[in-house]
Every structure is written in C-alpha cells, then in structure tokens.
Amino acid sequence: MNALPLSLADRTVFVAGGGSAGPGWSIGRAASVTYARLGARVCVVDRDAASAAETTALIRAEGGAAETFVGDVAEEAEIARLFAEAREHFGPIDVLHHNVGIGKTGGVLDTDVRDFDAAHNVNVRSLLLASQQVLPSMVERGRGAIVTVSSVAGLRYIGYPHLSYSVSKAALIQFTRMIAQQYAGSGIRANCVVPGLIDTPRIAHTVAKQFSADSLDDARAARARQVPMQRMGTAWDVAHACAFLASDAAAYITGTELVVDGGITGKYA
C-alpha cells in the first residue's frame, strides 16, 4: 500500500500547454508524463502540434495512455472543439491542468497594449474558457481538480519589469481562489502552483535575455545564483507539486498557492 494516495488511476487529465517551447523538458511536458506515471489518461493539448506529439510519444513509450489534441486554448471555438475531442476520446475530464503562459518583458511605457491583451487572453481568459468546459460535468459527478500554473512574478517584483506577464499571473492566482470558493461544496478543488525560476527550454527565448551574459549557459548560471538554493528549479520540481495537488493526497487542500521556488519569494518579500 502506498503511504500517500497519489494515484491518478482511472482519471483523465487535460493538460492545456502540454508541449514545450523547445527540445527538452517543459513544465507541461514533465507534468503530463508525471500524471501518466501515476496512472492517468493524459490529453496533451497544445497549439504546437509537433511538441505535443512528442510529449504523447514519451508517455506511450513508457506504456502510459495519452492522446494529442492540437489547437489554441485561448480561442473560444477552438477550446470547445478541443474539449469535445478529448471527451470523445477519454471520457469526462477529472483534472484540468492549466499550464499555458506567455508574456513579453517590459514595463509600463514599453509594453504594447496588444501584447498586454495577448498575455491576458492566453494566461487568464483561457482559464475562463476551459473552466466553463469542465465545471458542469465535475459538478454533476461531484468531483474534480483544477491545477493552475502561475509564477513568482505574479507575487513579487523579481528584478526586471515583466508587466503583462506579472499582472496576468497575479490574476490567475485570484481566479483560482475564486473557483475554489465557489465549488468547494461540489467536491471540486482548485489550487495554484507558483513556480520560481525554472530551467525549461523557454528561458532561452525569454528571460535569459535579461542577464548581460555572453552565452546562454552564463545567463543560466546568473539566473541560478539569484536563487537561495543556488539552482534553478527543474520542470520535475514543478510537475511533482502539480501531481500532488491533482491527487487525492491533497483531498483537503483547495484555494491555496503552492510556491515551488527554492526560496526566492522569501528573498524578495
């Protein structure tokens, strides 16, 4: 017998953003694989068909159950189609893992309003669309879990302006708390994972640029030095927190934030 009820056997998980911005382990990919290792059927959803298919292939190679669904979760018509296809394939969704996140760096005067809107649409508004898809059947079945992925940038100023991203990630935290309050009596839990500085392929495109370093490795090292634990987190560090919150091991946990950051939030308190 397992000491903790971490199993997700016979559960279907919808991972919005299960691909990766580049080769290697993104948070959505590591979470998808972790859910499958715990026995879940995983709907790997991403607008990047090739990277979603790669996640699905990794799961299947380990004997897990996964299917790829390609589309933009920030578009109303697309998300209705994606959920219809996912339900058709694996049945009702037990866990929604809201992983998509975008954002350009910049402060008030150098943030284009279109980029601000895009960050809001992908990071926050898409949770409204996805929640509207999953909550009715979760209520009907009397169970469900929603795990959202915010960022320490939604809690603190982390050393450089990342306005559209930070504001949307802050909104995501409160959105998650609101779902939790409204649906706690219906057997549905909603919690937010708040990652710190995580070493995923995406940082090569975005945050590494904030460090005046000659190479990506130097930028990664500078980023690691910011963290009290002296290392960036791995996608697995975050995935494990997501899996805990999605599972019955977190049966009495709702409306909270689980910060996975090697101590960096305390440093900027």
Ligand X SMILES: NC(=O)c1ccc[n+]([C@@H]2O[C@H](COP(=O)([O-])OP(=O)(O)OC[C@H]3O[C@@H](n4cnc5c(N)ncnc54)[C@H](O)[C@@H]3O)[C@@H](O)[C@H]2O)c1
Instruction: Yes or no: say if 46 and 128 are a contact pair by the CB < 8 Å rule.
Output: no
Q: Is 201 in the site for ligand X (CB under 6 A)?
A: yes
Task: Give the burial string for 11-28 (b: 16+ CB within 10 Å, else e).
Answer: bbbbbbbbbbbeeebbbb
**Strand order from edge to edge, sheet including 65-70:** 65-70, 41-46, 12-16, 95-98, 144-149, 188-195, 257-260
Site size for ligand X (CB under 6 A) = 28
One of 151, 176, 254, 265 touching ligand X (CB under 6 A): 151
Q: Name which of residues 68 to 107 contact ligand X (CB under 6 A).
A: 72-74, 99-102
CB atoms near residue 76 (< 10 Å): 13
The minimum distance between CB 60 and ligand X, in angstroms, equals 18
Q: Is 48 in the site for ligand X (CB under 6 A)?
A: yes
Q: Is 192 in the site for ligand X (CB under 6 A)?
A: no
The minimum distance between CB 10 and ligand X, in angstroms, equals 26
252 among known catalytic residues: no
| 3-class state of residue 171 by DSSP | helix
Q: Of residues 35, 157, 165, 183, which has the active-site annotation?
A: 165
The minimum distance between CB 231 and ligand X, in angstroms, equals 12
Q: Is 188 in the site for ligand X (CB under 6 A)?
A: no
Nearest to 130 by CA among 76, 85, 90: 76
Task: Report how far residue 163's alpha carbon sits from residue 63's, in angstroms, rounded to the nearest whole number.
Answer: 42
Q: Is 119 in the site for ligand X (CB under 6 A)?
A: no
Task: Report how far residue 36's alpha carbon sits from residue 13's, in angstroms, rounded to the nearest whole number.
Answer: 9
Q: What is the set of active-site residues?
A: 165
Task: Give residues in contact with ligand X (CB under 6 A).
Answer: 17, 19-21, 26-28, 46-48, 51, 72-74, 99-102, 122, 149, 151, 195, 197-198, 200-203
